[in-house]
């Protein structure tokens, strides 16, 4: 068992003494003097799917006016497998306009965030989500997060099955406390504390966040191996016969702290029935709950517990708890990780349109009324909304008879032109939020990568590489929210305008990249890439991807 009890991190005390994650949140919300909430409540509010933030662009101005920082909140929805009905999209659009900056952000974990919500708007926002049957429970905090699943679930019955499993895992891992309803929905709710007893999380919850993803080969659009728990559907004779289960993925690290590192999940083995899958997932979590590091939050993710215990001991402890053994892992093959843009028809004849949404930001600009176009599609009631881990959106389950109407809306709003016209590099780019809301950002990401891509495109053009599907990802710090450590070209922010450049990751998400240049600015980024692309076209092997080539370059050619 975890032997760090003597030296628990302060967050552990906040969790155990929180009265089922209630803390003093009601008092904090009622305080009219400040836009912030009390310090302990800033930890607890995460378990309710929210973060206290401030507008970092306006810090200096606020201080010069002797005002407190401009505090506001980000809310993240819990959407296992990333799905909304058209009615829910219309409701979300309205909630975003009434209470947030208005921008709807599709995240790298297939869900939605709204930013810039003032404290007084928090309860109305949650209440309006509640009316849409949406919640943000456990979207953040030391619990299981949004369960991701290969997008396009209606493309085949197998995707549907995996999507449904994502929902079951999400339900199984929900905290039992009803504090969310108590605080955000109904003040008068009578609380039965006995009914809130939580065998999974107890009163201490997990040592740290925990993430679960499900991939349906041949697509690894969920980047399954970056999750704490990764499920890979094993398909035989067109049926899912079970799942390979892997554990210990995670991408975050801290500059200068050698004890921290990105890691891909290691395969524990194969499990056949759904009942066993759920049991195995549950007990992988309880082992992490009991053995994870509760002293140093930098070393408390499941990946460090696995490396501390060793994969065999971790597996043995899980098997002891489940009462069955993992079978040897079965073969599987990933063939792609990118989204399939444009129209696709599924086995039932329904249509799907994948919209390219640069870094998941859905808003209107003078040139591109994306948000209005999507609202108009939703208002027809004839398309569901699905989200991908590449921050894109799928208009889903469209009947043949409604396709032309939706196509017309997409054309009218420039959405199909934008999706078709973007270069391969741009369509394979991911960036995290970073500035101006992320308190941990050291550099820009989603506000900067689009213009950097514009400068890289002519270089690719020069070498005849315009259509090459190179994955390029940027994060404003080494936490890896835009999964930069798992890209063919990864940028990791070090300071304003400066990035570490990583290369050598593979295209399918099976190999992490390696730092190649440290702390470089735009000019050096462009000259370095120019040089690398030049060598790539000269020395690449047949069909060799840029990621595989640069891995070879780093290890043998350089």
Which positions touch ligand SRM (CB under 6 A)?
51, 53, 74, 76, 107-109, 111, 113, 145-146, 208-209, 211, 226, 250-252, 301, 360, 391, 432-433, 437-440, 479-483
Q: Which residue's Cβ lies closest to ligand SRM?
A: 252
- Residue 27: CB atoms within 10 A of its CB come to 11
Q: Is 303 a catalytic residue?
A: no
Q: Which of the residues 149, 173, 389, 432 is marked catalytic?
A: 432
Residue 52 and residue 115: Cα distance in Å, rounded? 10
Q: Which of the residues 22, 119, 208, 211 is marked catalytic?
A: 211
- Give, as ranges, the residues between 450 and 509 that touch ligand SF4 (CB under 6 A): 475-477, 479-481
Q: Binds 384, which of ligand SRM, ligand SF4, none (CB < 5 to 8 A, cut-off by type)? A: none
Q: What minimum distance in Å lies between the beta carbon of 512 and ligand SF4?
A: 15
Rg (C-alpha) for the chain, rounded Å, is: 23
| 449 forms part of the interface with ligand SF4 (CB under 6 A) | no
Residue 334 and residue 446: Cα distance in Å, rounded? 28
Instruction: List the Cα angle 150/286/254 in 5-degree steps.
Output: 70
Q: What minimum distance in Å lies between the beta carbon of 476 and ligand SF4?
A: 3
Q: What minimum distance in Å lies between the beta carbon of 241 and ligand SRM?
A: 27
Q: What minimum distance in Å lies between the beta carbon of 320 and ligand SF4?
A: 36
Q: What minimum distance in Å lies between the beta carbon of 83 and ligand SF4?
A: 24
H or E stretch at 51: strand 50-54
- Give, as ranges, the residues between 67 and 126 that touch ligand SF4 (CB under 6 A): none
Q: Is 140 a catalytic residue?
A: no
Instruction: List the Cα angle 33/434/76 in 5-degree steps.
Output: 65
Query: Which phi and psi angles does 185 have, rounded to 5°?
Result: -110, -55
Residues in Cβ contact with 175 at an 8 Å cutoff, skipping those fewer than 6 apart:
21, 47, 137, 138, 143, 198, 200, 201, 205
Q: Which has the closest alpha carbon to 159: 226, 215, 102, 224?
A: 215
Question: Which of residues 289 and 483 has its CB atom nearest to ligand SF4 in the complex?
Answer: 483
**Residues paired with residue 263 on neighbouring β-strands, in sequence order:** 250
Report yes or no: 511 and 498 within 8 Å, Cβ to Cβ. Answer: no
Interface residue with ligand SF4, options 84, 434, 460, 501 (CB under 6 A): 434
3-state helix, strand, coil in the chain (%, to 5): 40, 20, 40
Q: Is 209 a catalytic residue?
A: yes
Instruction: List the Cα angle 528/532/537 in 5-degree steps.
Output: 150
Residue 108 and residue 148: Cα distance in Å, rounded? 9
Q: What minimum distance in Å lies between the beta carbon of 444 and ligand SRM?
A: 12
Q: Is 432 a catalytic residue?
A: yes
Q: Which of the residues 76, 276, 279, 507 is marked catalytic?
A: 76
C-alpha distances out from residue 511 to 11, 212, 265, 487, Å: 33, 19, 11, 9
Query: Which phi and psi angles does 54 have, rounded to 5°?
Result: -145, 160
Question: Which of residues 305 and 479 has its CB atom nearest to ligand SF4 in the complex?
Answer: 479
Q: Binds 109, which of ligand SRM, ligand SF4, none (CB < 5 to 8 A, cut-off by type)? A: ligand SRM
Choose the binding region for ligand SF4 from 50-58, 162-170, 212-220, 431-439 (rule: CB under 6 A): 431-439
How are beta strands 229-236 and 212-215 bridged, if at all?
Answer: parallel
Q: Which of the residues 46, 438, 473, 483 is marked catalytic?
A: 438
Residue 41 and residue 28: Cα distance in Å, rounded? 8
Q: Binds 51, which of ligand SRM, ligand SF4, none (CB < 5 to 8 A, cut-off by type)? A: ligand SRM
Handedness of CA 441, 515, 548, 228 (dihedral sign): negative
Question: Which of residues 134 and 253 has its CB atom nearest to ligand SF4 in the complex?
Answer: 253
Q: Is 481 a catalytic residue?
A: yes
Q: Binds 545, which of ligand SRM, ligand SF4, none (CB < 5 to 8 A, cut-off by type)? A: none
Q: Binds 477, which of ligand SRM, ligand SF4, none (CB < 5 to 8 A, cut-off by type)? A: ligand SF4
Q: Is 173 a catalytic residue?
A: no
Question: Which of residues 244 and 484 has its CB atom nearest to ligand SF4 in the complex?
Answer: 484
Q: Which has the closest alpha carbon to 478: 488, 468, 490?
A: 490
Question: Which of residues 53 and 95 has its CB atom nearest to ligand SRM in the complex?
Answer: 53
Q: What minimum distance in Å lies between the beta carbon of 469 and ligand SF4?
A: 23
Burial of 168 (0-12, 13-18, 19+ CB in 10 A): middle
Number of residues this chain uses to bind ligand SF4 (CB under 6 A): 13
Q: Binds 108, which of ligand SF4, ligand SRM, none (CB < 5 to 8 A, cut-off by type)? A: ligand SRM
Q: Which of the residues 78, 145, 371, 473 is marked catalytic?
A: 145
Q: Which of the residues 140, 350, 477, 498 is marked catalytic?
A: 477
Choose the binding region for ligand SF4 from 108-116, 241-249, 255-263, 435-443 (rule: CB under 6 A): 435-443
Q: Which has the closest alpha carbon to 57: 139, 115, 135, 133?
A: 115
| 438 forms part of the interface with ligand SF4 (CB under 6 A) | yes
Q: What minimum distance in Å lies between the beta carbon of 140 and ligand SRM?
A: 6
Quickly list H helices, 222-340.
274-291, 302-309, 311-322
Interface residue with ligand SF4, options 445, 449, 472, 503 (CB under 6 A): 445
| 430 forms part of the interface with ligand SF4 (CB under 6 A) | no
Sheet with 229-236, strands from edge to edge, namely 148-149, 212-215, 229-236, 239-247, 266-271
Question: Which of residues 465 and 481 has its CB atom nearest to ligand SRM in the complex?
Answer: 481
Burial of 531 (0-12, 13-18, 19+ CB in 10 A): exposed
Residues that bind ligand SF4 (CB under 6 A): 432-434, 438, 440-441, 445, 475-477, 479-481
Active site residues: 76, 145, 209, 211, 432, 438, 477, 481
């Amino acid at each position: 068992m975890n032997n760090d009890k003597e030296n628990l991190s302060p967050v552990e005390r906040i969790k155990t003494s929180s009265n089922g994650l209630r803390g003093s949140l009601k008092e904090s919300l009622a305080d009219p003097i400040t836009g912030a909430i009390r310090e302990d409540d800033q930890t607890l509010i995460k378990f309710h799917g929210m973060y206290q933030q401030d507008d970092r662009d306006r810090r200096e101005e606020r201080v010069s006016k002797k005002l407190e920082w401009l505090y506001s909140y980000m809310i993240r929805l819990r959407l296992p497998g990333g799905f909304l009905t058209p009615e829910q999209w219309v409701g979300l659009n309205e909630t975003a306009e009434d209470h947030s900056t208005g921008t709807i952000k599709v995240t790298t974990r297939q869900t939605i965030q709204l930013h810039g919500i003032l404290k007084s708007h928090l309860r109305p926002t949650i209440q309006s989500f509640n009316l849409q049957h949406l919640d943000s429970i456990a979207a953040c905090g030391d619990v299981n997060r949004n369960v991701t699943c290969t997008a396009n679930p209606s493309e085949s019955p197998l995707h549907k099955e995996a999507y449904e499993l994502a929902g079951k895992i999400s339900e199984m891992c929900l905290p039992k406390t009803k504090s969310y309803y108590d605080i955000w929905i109904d003040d008068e709710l009578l609380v039965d504390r006995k009914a809130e007893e939580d065998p999974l999380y107890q009163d201490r919850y997990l040592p740290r966040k925990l993430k679960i993803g499900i991939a349906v080969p041949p697509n690894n659009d969920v980047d399954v191996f970056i999750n704490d728990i990764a499920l890979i559907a094993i398909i035989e004779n067109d049926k899912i016969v079970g799942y390979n289960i892997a554990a210990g993925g995670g991408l975050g690290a801290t500059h200068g702290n050698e004890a921290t590192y990105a890691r891909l999940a290691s395969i524990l083995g194969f499990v056949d029935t759904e009942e066993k899958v759920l049991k195995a997932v549950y007990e992988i979590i309880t082992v992490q709950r009991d053995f994870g590091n509760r002293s140093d939050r930098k070393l408390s993710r499941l990946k460090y517990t696995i490396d501390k215990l060793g994969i065999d001991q971790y597996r043995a402890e899980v098997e002891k708890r489940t009462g069955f053994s993992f079978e040897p892992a079965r073969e599987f093959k990933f063939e792609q990780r990118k989204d399939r843009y444009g129209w696709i028809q599924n086995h039932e004849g329904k249509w799907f349109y994948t919209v390219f949404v640069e870094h998941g930001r859905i808003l209107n600009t003078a040139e591109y009324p994306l948000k209005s176009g999507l609202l108009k599609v939703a208002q027809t009631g004839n398309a569901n909304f699905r989200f991908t881990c590449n921050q894109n959106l799928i208009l889903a389950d469209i009947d043949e008879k409604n396709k032309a109407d939706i196509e017309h809306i997409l054309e009218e709003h420039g959405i199909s032109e934008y999706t078709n016209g973007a270069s391969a590099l741009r369509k394979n780019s991911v960036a995290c939020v970073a500035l101006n809301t992320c308190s941990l950002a050291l550099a820009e990401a989603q506000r900067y990568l689009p213009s950097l891509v514009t400068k890289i495109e002519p270089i690719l053009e020069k070498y005849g590489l315009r259509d090459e599907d190179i994955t390029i990802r940027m994060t404003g710090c080494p936490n890896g929210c835009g999964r930069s450590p798992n890209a063919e070209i990864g940028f990791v922010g070090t300071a304003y305008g400066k990035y570490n450049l990583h290369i050598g990751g593979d295209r399918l998400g099976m190999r992490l990249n390696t730092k190649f240049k440290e702390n470089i600015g735009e000019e050096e980024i462009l000259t370095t890439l120019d040089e690398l692309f030049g060598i790539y076209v000269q020395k690449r092997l047949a069909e060799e991807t840029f990621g595989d080539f640069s891995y070879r370059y780093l290890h043998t050619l350089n």
